[in-house]
Amino acid sequence: MSEESDWTIGRLLTWTSDYLTKQGSTSPRLDAEVLLADACGCERIDLYTAFDRAATETVRVTFREMVRRRAEGTPVAYLVGKREFYSLSFRVTPDVLIPRPETEHLVIETLDLIKTLDGKPIKIVDVGSGSGNVSVAIAKHAPSSQITAVDISKTALEIARKNVETHQVQEQVSLVAGDLLEGFNDEPQFDFVVSNPPYVSEAELTQAACEVKDYEPHIALLGGPQGTEIIARLVQQSTGRLKSGGWLLLEFSPMIATLVADLIDASSAFEDPVTTKDLAGLTRVIKARRR
Ligand code: GLN
């Protein structure tokens, strides 16, 4: 290759974008920009005014190593240690699921329901809180909410704690280790049960992209042989712990949409379940009201 000083920001982005395309990335340009911004210690937008600037040796070394790992399959979010969700930045490590845009629908649906309650104090439990993205996003937009974030993974709870602190919602969000709602008395106490639970079936996981199945925590993904097993337990446990008139909101895989709707219908504790589609037009979230 030419002189080192020829490696401008612009050329690095073009070269890396081509390289990652060949390596099979579905978002090569975005990956290159996010990684290079991280290596430069700037925002992505700042790269656009620096196209002609030569990258320093330190930046190039850091960037090259990240590109190498990205080409192997490591998700960008784990390389840079963060991911944006609901316009907030969340710290992520391989101990937590990388927040997905689809999950923003779970937050939107919850916030829409909260708005109808005119600022009345409400108690929410976020089951399988992972990085804490759902709890923090709700807390930030619904000051009337008190949220208990539950996760079975202690290492995930540590990440969530950092995110709760960064976004300064410690007064609203408490973190608890537990297996779904097992640790809570079986009595009506919550206004909302909100969850993006593990819902991928064993078969679906074997077919998932390598960057999902080889890098993200299986405990956060796998819902059992059919994918519905954890949701079934959660629906059953929610029945006793939700107040009458309270809401259950769940994210799930479109592959099990009918099974999830059937599970909720079969419990007969909930009325009029309504599903929402994500931006890809796939049924993704269900909300149901406790009778
Ligand atoms: N609540 C987190 C999220 O929505 C983690 C979910 C999970 O681990 N299944 O991304």
**Is residue 103 lining ligand 1, measured as CB closer than 6 Å?**
yes
**Confidence class for position 3, pLDDT limits 50, 70, 90:** low
Q: Distance from the CA of 100 to the center of ligand 1, in angstroms?
A: 9
C-alpha–C-alpha distance, residues 261 and 257, integer Å: 6
Over residues 113-145, the pLDDT tens digits come to 999 999 999 999 999 999 999 999 999 999 999
253 lines ligand 1 (CB under 6 A): no
Run of H or E including 259: helix 257-267
Backbone torsions φ then ψ of 115, nearest 5 degrees = -60, -30
Count the neighbouring beta carbons within 10 Å of the beta carbon of residue 291: 14
Of the candidates 200, 178, 194, 197, the one whose C-alpha atom is nearest the C-alpha of residue 137 is 194
Candidate of 107, 131, 163 to mutate for ligand 1, largest count of ligand atoms within 8 Å of Cβ: 131
- Is residue 130 lining ligand 1, measured as CB closer than 6 Å? yes
- Residue boundaries of the structural domains of the chain: 9-72, 95-289
**What's the pLDDT tens digit per position in 6-53?**
899 999 999 999 999 999 999 999 999 999 999 999 999 999 999 999
Q: Which residue CA neighbors atom 7 of ligand 1 most closely? A: 220
Task: List Cβ<8 Å contacts ≥24 apart for 60-63.
Answer: 60/4, 60/7, 60/12, 63/12, 63/16, 63/35, 63/36, 63/39
Domain 95-289 grouped into CATH 3.40.50.300: no
Indicate the helix (H) or strand (E) that contains 271.
strand 270-277
SS3 2: coil
- Pull the structure tokens for residue 92: 């992520």
> 98: CA distance to ligand 1 center in Å?
8
Kind and range of the H or E run holding 231: helix 229-241
- Give the pLDDT confidence score for residue 234 in this predicted structure: 98
Of 148, 27, 133, 124, the C-alpha closest to 87 is: 133
Question: pLDDT of 168-198, one tens digit each?
Answer: 999 999 999 999 999 999 999 999 999 999 9
**Rounded mean pLDDT, 80-102:** 98
CA 87 to chain centre: 12
Q: What is the mean pLDDT of residues 271-289?
A: 95
